[in-house]
């Protein structure tokens, strides 16, 4: 890490702390950590909350009982702040920026009155919806679509209410009830999550959002990535009919054990494709391009303050079911802040999904020092041609950004074609 700050002292200056008790909250550019006291004694703060710190800075002291506590603290290089010093690298962010759908320069959302009324009735935050009307205007159909997405999670009325009360995102919960329904018991033990509301960063005009913590990291890293590498993007259309059917069947088959998402399908497909196209699984440095042996796929997860990219390790060696279980753990862990630093480290390729917002194409930004990032878009009813007859079929656009310093267009397209082929023949993802 390069900097951090104490965002909260849990033990007041001069109060007593017991070993293992929560002492302070450390907010770094990548992660927020609650730090426990290493010893028991009287706590003296050296710095106040909100002061920027470098690794190794002393945040305070714990005095043993009976020890003379100096009136003025001396600047002794101590180890109290060490937990911060060894934060691993590898946490980064993709281009998944807060969406402010169809915002006009004035900041006003374009939306139809009917859409606003329906959104109000259904309790849907329409400001996070992607508008499909003229000029990106949010229309009633967009709200209906959003509500059907929420409803498509099977859960008992009680589970729905408890999830709402406890702030749990039901789409991250595995249901154990009849037909894979989420029941009360499935929510036990799940802590309050900060539901991924992109709207959390909505600001009123004139307000200044301080550039700190995760926001600052995102700003720095995204800008740095675009400045330092030669990024370009391309889209390719995948036929998803079989994947949609297979997912429906797998939801039944793995009922109570795992809930595969389309992102899980893409994790598996990308991992298989990276095995065949190892240059996409590489790290660029001025000295040379290192092909990385293990395939660790990061997944951008929106959290209240921004986004986190937990990593599915050795994704090529995991079955689709294992991936589904692991991504569910990572997604909910990222939201409620229970993941380890290890869960964020070592990514070699990243996925970023915006399909749930109705996005059909975007240009994700590479998570440095990786060489590629794949954007997952909306699944929609597309057309293919059977002889000269149009046939309705499920399709999804995939948006690949890659680093031209590492890979040229042709091999990048070959990689993307492999992913697309695997998704259109999804039974190959089961082997």
Partner 1 sequence: MNEFDIMVIGGGPGGYAAAIRASQLGLTVALAEREALGGTCLNWGCIPTKSLLHSAELLRNISHAGQLGISVGEVHFDLAAMVNESRSAANQLSQGVQHLMKKNKVTVFTGEAVIKSPGLVQIDEQEILADNIIVATGASARSLGNIQPDGNRIWGAREAMTPGFLPGKLLIVGAGAIGVEFASFYATLSTEVTLLEVASQILPVEDAEIAELAMAAFRQQGIEILTSCSLENLQADEQVVRASIGGEIREFDAVILSVGVKANLSGSGIDKLGVKLLDGFIEVDDVQRTNLPGIFAIGDVTGGPCLAHKATHEAMIVAEEIAGLKTHPVQKSRVPGCTYSHPQIASIGLKESDLKDRPYKVGRFPLYANGKAVVTQQTEGLVKTLFDADSGELLGAHLIGDGVTELIHGFALAIGHEATEESLIQTIFPHPTLSEAMHESVLNAFGRTLHL
Task: Tell which one of 55, 98, 177, 411 touches partner 1 (CB under 8 A).
Answer: 177
User: Is residue 158 a contact point for partner 1 (CB under 8 A)?
Assistant: yes
Catalytic status, residue 404: yes
- Residue number, 7 or 156, with CB nearest to partner 1: 156
Task: Tell which one of 7, 132, 176, 220 touches partner 1 (CB under 8 A).
Answer: 176
Instruction: Sketch the per residue contact string, 209 through 248, with partner 1: x for CB under 8 A, - otherwise.
Output: ----------------------------------------
For 116, the 3-state DSSP assignment is helix
Alpha-carbon gap, residue 300 to 354, rounded angstroms: 10
Length of the chain: 431
User: Is residue 162 a contact point for partner 1 (CB under 8 A)?
Assistant: yes
User: Of 71-79, 150-158, 193-201, 380-388, which part binds partner 1 (CB under 8 A)?
Assistant: 150-158
Catalytic status, residue 34: no
For partner 1 (CB under 8 A), the number of binding residues is 14
User: Of 59-67, 178-186, 271-279, 304-312, which part binds partner 1 (CB under 8 A)?
Assistant: 178-186
User: Is residue 167 a contact point for partner 1 (CB under 8 A)?
Assistant: no
Alpha-carbon gap, residue 308 to 96, rounded angstroms: 10
Q: Answer yes or no: are the C-beta atoms of 48 and 59 closer than 8 Å.
A: no
User: Is residue 256 a contact point for partner 1 (CB under 8 A)?
Assistant: yes
Q: Which string of DSSP letters, residue by residue, matches 27-61?
A: EESS-EEEEE-SS-EEEEESS-TT--B-TT---EE
Q: Answer yes or no: are the C-beta atoms of 186 and 159 closer than 8 Å.
A: yes
Task: Tell which one of 94, 225, 231, 255 touches partner 1 (CB under 8 A).
Answer: 255
252 to 1, 262, 427: CA distances (angstroms): 44, 15, 16
Q: DSSP assignment, residue 90?
A: -
- Residue number, 176 or 202, with CB nearest to partner 1: 176
User: Is residue 274 a contact point for partner 1 (CB under 8 A)?
Assistant: no
User: Is residue 159 a contact point for partner 1 (CB under 8 A)?
Assistant: yes
Q: Which string of DSSP letters, residue by residue, matches 314-378?
A: TGGGS-HHHHHHHHHHHHHHHHHT---GGGGS--SEEEEE-GGGT-----PPP-TT-SEEEEEEE
User: Is residue 122 a contact point for partner 1 (CB under 8 A)?
Assistant: no
Alpha-carbon gap, residue 268 to 426, rounded angstroms: 10
User: Is residue 156 a contact point for partner 1 (CB under 8 A)?
Assistant: yes
Residues within the interface to partner 1 (CB under 8 A): 156-159, 161-162, 165, 176-178, 183-184, 255-256
Catalytic residues: 404, 408
């Amino acid at each position: 890490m390069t900097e951090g700050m104490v965002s909260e002292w849990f033990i007041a200056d001069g109060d007593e702390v017991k070993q293992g008790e929560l002492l302070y909250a450390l907010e770094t550019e990548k992660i927020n950590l609650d730090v426990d006291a290493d010893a028991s004694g009287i706590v003296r703060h050296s710095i106040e909350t909100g002061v920027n710190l470098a690794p190794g800075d002393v945040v305070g002291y714990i005095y043993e009982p009976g020890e003379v506590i100096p009136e003025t603290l001396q600047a002794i290089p101590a180890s109290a702040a060490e937990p911060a010093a060894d934060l691993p690298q590898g946490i980064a962010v993709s281009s998944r920026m807060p969406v402010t759908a169809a915002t006009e320069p004035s900041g006003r959302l374009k939306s139809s009155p009917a859409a606003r009324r329906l959104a109000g009735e259904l309790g849907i935050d329409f400001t996070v919806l992607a508008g499909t009307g003229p000029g990106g205007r949010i229309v009633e159909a967009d709200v209906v679509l959003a509500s059907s997405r929420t409803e498509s999670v099977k859960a008992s009325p009680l589970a729905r209410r408890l999830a709402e009360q406890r702030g749990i995102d039901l789409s991250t919960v595995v249901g154990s009830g009849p037909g894979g329904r989420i029941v009360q018991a499935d929510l036990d033990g799940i802590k309050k999550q900060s539901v991924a509301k992109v709207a959390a960063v909505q600001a009123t005009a004139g307000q200044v959002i301080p550039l700190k913590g995760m926001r600052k990291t995102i700003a720095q890293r995204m800008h740095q990535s675009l400045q330092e590498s030669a990024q370009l993007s391309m889209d390719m259309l995948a036929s998803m009919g079989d994947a949609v059917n297979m997912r429906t069947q797998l939801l039944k088959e793995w009922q109570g054990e795992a809930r595969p998402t389309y992102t899980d399908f893409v994790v598996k497909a990308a991992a298989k494709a990276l095995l065949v196209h190892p240059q996409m699984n590489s790290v660029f440095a001025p000295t040379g391009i290192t092909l990385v042996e293990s395939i660790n796929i990061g997944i951008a997860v929106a959290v209240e303050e921004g986004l986190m990219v937990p990593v599915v390790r050795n994704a090529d060696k995991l079955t689709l079911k294992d991936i589904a279980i692991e991504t569910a753990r990572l997604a909910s862990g990222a939201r409620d802040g229970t993941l380890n630093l290890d869960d964020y480290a070592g990514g070699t390729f990243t996925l970023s999904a915006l399909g749930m917002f109705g996005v059909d194409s975007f240009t994700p930004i590479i998570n440095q020092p990786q060489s590629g990032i794949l954007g997952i878009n909306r699944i929609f009813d597309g057309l293919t041609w059977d002889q000269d007859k149009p046939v309705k079929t499920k399709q999804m656009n995939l948006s690949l950004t890659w680093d031209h310093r590492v890979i040229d267009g042709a091999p990048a397209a070959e990689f993307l074609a492999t992913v697309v082929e695997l998704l259109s023949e999804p039974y190959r993802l089961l082997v």
